[in-house]
Structure 1
Amino acid sequence: MAEKIEKIIDPVDRELIKQELTKERFGRTTRKGGNEIYIINAHNSPNTMREIGRLRELSFRSAGGGTKKAIDIDQYDTSELCYQQLIVWSPEDEEIIGGLRFINCAKIISDDKDQFIPMSTSHYFKFSEQFKKEFLPYAIELGRSWVQPMYQPSVNPRKGLFALDNLWDGLAVLTVVYPNLKYFFGKVTMYPDYHEESRDFLLFFLQKYFPDKDGLATSMYPLNQSYDAEKFKALLANKDFKEGFKVLTHFVRENGENVPPLMNIYMHLSPTMRSFGTAVNPDFGGVEETGIVVTIADIYEDKKERHILPILNK
């Protein structure tokens, strides 16, 4: 029986959204494009949350994922200890360009060893005691990162060029709001229609250059893979990350693909990033989620200068 696909809700009245984007929820103006970063949640900005849910479903569905429901809002968006929503707002267009959701893990963990940690990643990855003790108290989990279709570079080259960059300006705000923050972690999504051998090579590449040597997290729904490991080893033999990335880029382009933009950004963010393997997400169109953790102190200096220092120096 075919899965029922619901019609996505109509856009939310812009005046209702603008009333909720108040000064106390303002983070910063973006470095490029003159857009604005806001942090809201479902309780203080219910209309904006509905528009986020609409745009998330529109964005993910157009890429081959999504919930197939009329709106992408779940219990993590609406619970008492809910995720916060970081959005990029265009005052010129009166549109939400993109966003992500996040939660300060220190607020949701306890000393109970058997506790189910109420965050999205807990459904797909099992965390080691080391990760729970040494990382989670100083971490923010990021998820549901999206740029709406109207601002994709392929659709709107002028404005789409800055969309992902604006989101990184938003993440810089979190380093100020949460002074004890040491780690970003979460999932990077790939879609089932991505060329299979290119996907396998990309994930092999992540395991080679960004391994999780301490076994901090393991996939609960591991991706079924069957590939020629010797072929991939030979392609990357004696190559550092920079040289290996050129090989990866060439390989996926020969198969009609690109390295997914968010994956590309994370790989060039920090040399100490760790990847946790890949899980299939049955609740979101069968997309493939690769877990990662980034140590903020190890982010490349040029990235800090571009995104973080401008807000620290204000």
Structure 2
Amino acid sequence: MQKEINQLNVDKHLFTTGSYSCYLTDAASIPMIMHELGRRREEAFRAVGEGTGRPLDLDSYDEYYQHLILWDKQKSRLVGAYRLGLGHDIIKHKGVKGFYTQTLFSYEGPFTEILSQSLELGRSFVVLEYQKEALPLVLLIKGLIYAVVRNKNVRYLLGPVSISSWYPKFYRSLMVYYLRKMHSAGDLEKYATPRNPFFPDYLRSNPDDLLAGKTDTIEKFDRFLLRMSNNEYRLPTLVKKYLKINCKIVTYNVDPDFNYCVDGLVLLDLKEVSRSEIEALTKGEAGREKVLERFGFTQGTGS
């Protein structure tokens, strides 16, 4: 696998931080790594009650999507990955049906225009042995930022983020309630219809009363979940990472092909991204000003 990394063109390298290097490449350039990626992807998802149930989590979308690869250059090992679809190209060559998310949601009206300007995210994971470290997931998010810099036509980040079926339905319901209340994409929900909607169950409680004063911040809601569940449940880490950069959640679908997890449809308008988060992700990088400029920030502007 290291040989495949060594043979990648220099323009496929996004950045190196410590012992980790990040690349953006196509599947055809890394056949051995793709096999390992499929194995590790399935392994990571099964560990949280998700996954396809197959030995390898690979499908037809992997063939024409790009792959954001995080690589441990000291140990010559895969650390994590994202699957990225460039909306402009997908619309041009395959139409709306070329998007993975259309298997989960039916799009119409204004959403078609969003798709054509989007970078579709999906299948993000960190290899189990690296999950105790905070840095790999941070670097994958950083990789998304650099992928946006490489693609000038992208205005939106779009993709599913999952809440595992391992969470009791009551806690999944509270999470969806909080996300709808505090991080909704507004009227766009009318144009993205879940193919298998999630129906909440609050166990006869009133969520308005239960969550009164608990939804002001992500941290406050997260602490509430922890206390209520005796330190067992909290918002999924990736959900929190997305919210921190100002992502919205459009609507929610239950995915029977992924062990009935709840998929929230994440949408980020790059014009609304948090400057402080971009600055934190690019701290110390030589090309930082170029990244800030891509997101519409110049010296002296706020978030």
1:214-293 equivalences in 2 (<5 Å): 214=187, 215-227=190-202, 231-237=206-212, 241-242=216-217, 245-255=219-229, 256-270=232-246, 273-293=247-267
Give the corresponding residue for 2:24.
39
- C-alpha deviation, 1:20, in angstroms: 4.0
- C-alpha deviation, 1:233, in angstroms: 1.2
Give the corresponding residue for 2:124.
145
Q: 2:275 aligns with which of 289, 294, 301?
A: 301
TM-score (norm 2): 0.86
Q: Distance in 2 between matches of 1:174 and 1:205?
A: 30
Q: Distance in 1 between matches of 2:91 and 2:98?
A: 8
- Higher mean C-alpha displacement, 15-24 vs 42-51: 15-24
Q: Distance in 2 between matches of 1:229 and 1:305?
A: 44
Q: Distance in 2 between matches of 1:125 and 1:228?
A: 27
- Higher mean C-alpha displacement, 245-254 vs 218-227: 245-254
Structure 1 residue identity aligned to 2:57: D
Is this contact kept in 1: 2:185–2:267, CA < 8 A? no
Q: Distance in 1 between matches of 2:222 and 2:77?
A: 35
Q: Deviations over 1:142-170 (max 9, x none)?
A: 000100100011xxxxxx12011111110
1:18 aligns with 2:5: yes
Q: Distance in 2 between matches of 1:54 and 1:263?
A: 23
Give the corresponding residue for 1:121.
101
Structure 1 residue identity aligned to 2:198: L
Q: 1:200 aligns with which of 168, 173, 176?
A: 173
Is this contact kept in 2: 1:206–1:275, CA < 8 A? yes
1:28 aligns with 2:10: no
1:92 aligns with 2:74: yes
Q: Secondary structure at the match of 1:275?
A: strand
- C-alpha deviation, 1:210, in angstroms: 1.6
Give the corresponding residue for 2:142.
169
TM-score (norm 1): 0.83
The structure in which a higher percent of residues are helix is 2
Segments of 5+ residues of structure 1 without an aligned counterpart are 1-13, 154-159
Structure 2 residue identity aligned to 1:131: F
Is this contact kept in 2: 1:27–1:173, CA < 8 A? yes
Is this contact kept in 2: 1:76–1:120, CA < 8 A? yes
Percent of aligned positions that are identical: 27
Q: Distance in 2 between matches of 1:111 and 1:171?
A: 23
Q: Distance in 1 between matches of 2:234 and 2:52?
A: 25
- C-alpha deviation, 1:27, in angstroms: 1.1
Is this contact kept in 2: 1:67–1:285, CA < 8 A? yes
